[in-house]
Amino acid sequence: MIIMEKLLELIKMRKAFVMATVIEAKGSSPGKTGFKLIYTKENELYGTVGGGLVEAKVLEEAQKAFMTKESTTLEYNLSPGEKGIGMQCGGSMKVFLEVFLPKTRLLLCGGGHVGFEIAKIASLLKIEVILLEERGHIATEERFPEVKRIVKGSYKEALQEIEIDDYTYVVIVTKGHATDQIVLENVISSQAAYIGLMGSQRKKEEMMKYMRNQGFSEDLLQKIHCPIGLDIKADTPEEIALAIIAEVIAIKNKGNGGFLRR
């Protein structure tokens, strides 16, 4: 019960973790059916699948699972022979590894025409949206019913309220160049998985020059996607929003965003 409480707590905290469950145990296995272990990306450990060498091997596989993002079943022969893992107890264990990752979050900075369409498309894809907007009259629950949270007021102050983790995708579509700069300065050093800025190539060059003058490194500037979105010759707010969300999905899924036809 304690492990399940910890699982719910970690989900609420937006922590990435792997839960290992012994689904079959035979012979003198140190881990019994139902034993559970939680291992977080920050190397926190809760529970056990039996300890010793077998648990060490489970933790090794859990680390790999963070990279593959895939759940899997592990089988261990606990005998000391060539086919075993070198334990003296004998028996065998099957362990199911289940990967839990925080829900993809879109931090939408700007609720104008494009931002409005982005929120609609993101909601269709079950992406959690947090909207930041200075203009209170357009950032309303009636206009954005699908948004999980609306933060009104200055962007600089609003961004102090938001924890940006590596499962957060930042899209900057504010009302103008000055507010874009404010947002960019306050998110560039974050752990965001993606930072997209709407604008032309000329705007990008001007923004990069400004950011360099502010002392931001080239490594940080490489995080910025500008012009934003995939090249689908988007013209309307709806098409631009689609191109932006498509790029977010491509980054999330490690796709190249090209045609499937070869």
Q: Is the pLDDT of residue 77 over 90?
A: no
Q: At 196, phi and psi to the nearest 5? A: -115, 135
pLDDT digit string, tens, across residues 205-240: 999 999 999 999 999 999 999 999 999 999 999 999
- Round to whole Å and give the CA distance between 144 and 164: 21
- Round to whole Å and give the CA distance between 97 and 116: 39
pLDDT band, residue 89 (cuts 50/70/90): low
Q: Let me know: does 133 contact 143? Beta carbons within 8 Å.
A: no
Residue at 122: amino acid letter: A
Q: Let me know: does 127 contact 148? Beta carbons within 8 Å.
A: no
Q: Let me know: does 226 contact 207? Beta carbons within 8 Å.
A: yes
pLDDT digit string, tens, across residues 105-157: 999 999 999 999 999 999 999 999 999 999 999 999 999 999 999 999 999 99
pLDDT, position 87: 53
- Round to whole Å and give the CA distance between 115 and 250: 19
pTM: 0.85
Domains detected in the chain = 15-100 (no CATH), 105-252 (3.40.50.720)
- Round to whole Å and give the CA distance between 30 and 132: 51
